[in-house]
Amino acid sequence: MTTINQREIQKFSKLADQWWDANGKFKPLHAFNPIRIKYIIDKCISHFKLEKKDSKPLTSLKILDIGCGGGLVCEPLKRLGADITGIDASYQNIEVAKIHAKKNNLKINYFNTSPEKKEINERFDVVLNLEVVEHVENLDLFLKSASDMLKKNGIMFVATINRTFESYIKAIVGAEYILRWLPIGTHDWQKFLTPNEIENKFKKLNFSKLETKGFKFNILSNKWTLSSDCSVNYIIIGKKD
């Protein structure tokens, strides 16, 4: 069994050379990145009782980023001291990530693989699934495989898009067809997941839900903020019991 959707992989592989172009096809992700990274850092510091004032507060943590793309999350977390591994089913994405990390003298472990292949023989304090679950096949296998790589009492982040009428209007009609922030066909509304669906899958894996938060975009200020509104973009954290 596999979690890899070849059509989705090909879609992102074609864009791989643009990962680090802040004005290219991944421009919306570059705008979104600071708020989600800050949230991840704050929650890691809180959960593991780390010293927030340290210049590298994540030094004691082993973090796995599944579906890491070109490394947009891996690199900032590495700079904050994390021992970080990034995996992606796209060979092109991993090659771009490796080259960019090398240019910036960052030692990040990158592998062209997917979680169910069990090629990573390590356990991590934190597992990140950011904007990836809506692109995979066999979500139950994907989350089970991801949880197998998480230490007990470790935390897993899942960031995705809710399956609501508002998300269809904003994330697909607005972002893809009107504003052209994303290539048309980037997302399939039917594959979006509600927070309750993710939470139920967490329960089956013996996870406790710690928090669900929304992300909201203000088109006037051109900024993302945390919100209690999870109708479009949201992130959910679970702890492995």
**Residue 22: predicted pLDDT:** 94
Q: Categorize the per-residue pLDDT at 187 as very low, low, confident or very high, splitting at 50, 70 and 90.
A: confident
Q: Give the number of C-alpha atoms closer than 13 A to the C-alpha of residue 49, restricted to the C-beta side.
A: 1
What tokens appear for 167 in the block?
A: 């998300």
**Residue 176: predicted pLDDT:** 76
**Residue 200: predicted pLDDT:** 97
**Residue 183: predicted pLDDT:** 78
Whether 75 has a pLDDT exceeding 80, the answer reads: yes
- CA–CA distance, 235 with 211 (Å, rounded to integer): 8
Whether 82 has a pLDDT exceeding 90, the answer reads: yes
> pLDDT of 190-221, one tens digit each?
999 999 999 999 999 999 999 999 999 888 88
Compute CA distances 185 → 11, 67, 172, 179, 224, whole Å.
Answer: 9, 18, 8, 14, 23
> pLDDT of 157-181, one tens digit each?
999 999 999 999 998 888 777 777 7
91 phi and psi angles, rounded to 5 deg: -60, -40
> pLDDT of 85-130, one tens digit each?
999 999 999 999 999 999 999 999 999 999 999 999 999 999 999 9
Average pLDDT, the chain: 94
**Residue 149: predicted pLDDT:** 98
198 phi and psi angles, rounded to 5 deg: -65, -45
In the DSSP assignment, the letter for residue 232 is: S
DSSP assignment string, 81-120: T-EEEEEES-HHHHHHHHHHHHHTT---EEEE--GGG---
What tokens appear for 233 in the block?
A: 């973009």
**Residue 182: predicted pLDDT:** 76
Amino acid at site 57: P
Counting Cβ atoms within 10 Å, is residue 220 exposed (0-12), middle (13-18) or buried (19+)? exposed
- CA–CA distance, 68 with 64 (Å, rounded to integer): 9
What pTM value is reported for the model?
Answer: 0.94
DSSP assignment string, 162-183: --SHHHIIIIIIIIIIIS-SS-
Whether the Cβ atoms of residue 189 and residue 160 lie closer than 8 Å to each other: no
Between 3.30.420.40, 3.90.1720.10, 3.40.50.150, 3.30.460.80, what CATH number should domain 6-49+58-240 receive?
3.40.50.150
**Residue 150: predicted pLDDT:** 98
Q: Where do the domains of the chain lie?
A: 6-49+58-240
Whether 65 has a pLDDT exceeding 90, the answer reads: yes
Q: How many CB atoms lie within 10 A of CB 52?
A: 10
**Residue 123: predicted pLDDT:** 98
Sign of CA dihedral 67, 73, 75, 81: negative
Q: How many CB atoms lie within 10 A of CB 152?
A: 9
Q: Categorize the per-residue pLDDT at 60 as very low, low, confident or very high, splitting at 50, 70 and 90.
A: very high
